Amino acid sequence: MTDRWDTRLGRVRGNRIDAREINSHLDNIQVKLNRIHNKLFDLNQRISARLIKEAYLGGGSNKKTLIEAFDFHNKQLKNQIGKGYAQGTYTRFETTKKHLIDFLTREYSCEDIELSDLDYGFIVKLEHYFKVTRNCNHNTTLKYIRNIRKIVNTAILNDWLAKDPFGKYKVKFKEVKRDYLTQDELTALEQKDFEIERLGQVRDVFVFCCYTGLSYADVRKLTIKDISKGLDGDLWIFIERTKTGNSSNVPVLSKALEIIKRYQNSPELQYLGKLLPILSNQKMNAYLKEIGCICGLNKNLTFHVARHTFATTVTLSNGVSIESVSSMLGHKNMRTTQIYAKVVQGKVSADMRKLKSLMSENE
């Protein structure tokens, strides 16, 4: 038979019965393969020789795709909102999935990909997509990829994927400078008189966060019911952090109590059941930028800055233990709090160098 095989045409030469039967069978295979190809194309699925082969042989029906694994994870996550997970966590994974589908559409002309097709090259292209196409910075890119890696780990644990495509992918987050207010800057901000009422209110909320370490999401939901006496007889804020669900217990310092009393008789806040006048995050940050300019602060004021100020200037710089600060901030991991300790240590080191320099000049 080999001497009758036409390698150029991929058929058996001649008109004998066996040649006609083999060629007819080959024609039927070609028709089925074309149908599979067209079906994958119509469904906007990735097309490859392996996928067509598996579909033809009837295999691969139980194989999972990346988006299927994402949907499986996100569905479980959604069911646990308020039970260990926050709405924001679910939203982040849904956003990551949306970006991933856009990436697949651009790079592979499909909206999904089999888990078994994931490899190191896929991840490198993904990193390039976030940094170049979406113009994300290094750390934001890694946060998106970390979300996708969690989905891959879920797939591995469920035996949907045998090999970890992230095995050789090694990158590190870049250390980010965390802005905070010095004591002089915080005092100047507190003592500033604003002719526009809304600016004064936004300043008050910001300063309140500087003395409590609360994030925007946490202070926004704060009510008088969240404040009660602790074992020491003083007032404390007892909440669960919106971002992590972790408990965050913070003593109400005198500066924070002053601000609470300033608004305790507001009819509008009493009607809304709120402790402080909170606007949308977008408006608050816009007004904070204006406040920073008015006060001559060469820093971009955000609620992150207020939280960092609490960790550094208000607590660690005044001898509060890192364990206590970590508890008050509601951190899951002490390593997160240690970032602030490094900031304080660096400031002390810089101050000591200035002192040594000054003493040398006076000698």
Q: Give which of 318, 312, 45 is closest to 181, Cα–Cα.
A: 312
Scanning the structure block, which residue is given the tokens 């020789």?
A: 49
Tell me the average pLDDT across 32-56.
74
- Residue of higher predicted confidence among 46 and 10: 10
Report DSSP letters for 89-100, one per residue.
HHHHHHHHHHHH
**Would you state the pLDDT for residue 2?**
62
**What are the tens digits of pLDDT across the range 311-321?**
888 988 888 88
pLDDT tens-digit series, residues 206-216: 999 999 999 89
Query: CA-to-CA distance for 331 and 246, rounded, in angstroms?
Result: 7
Give me the sign of the Cα torsion angle 239, 173, 346, 191: negative
> Residue type at 259?
I
Res. 63: pLDDT tops 60: yes
**pTM score over 0.85:** no
| Residue 248, beta-bridge partner list | 239
Average pLDDT score over residue span 229-252:
83
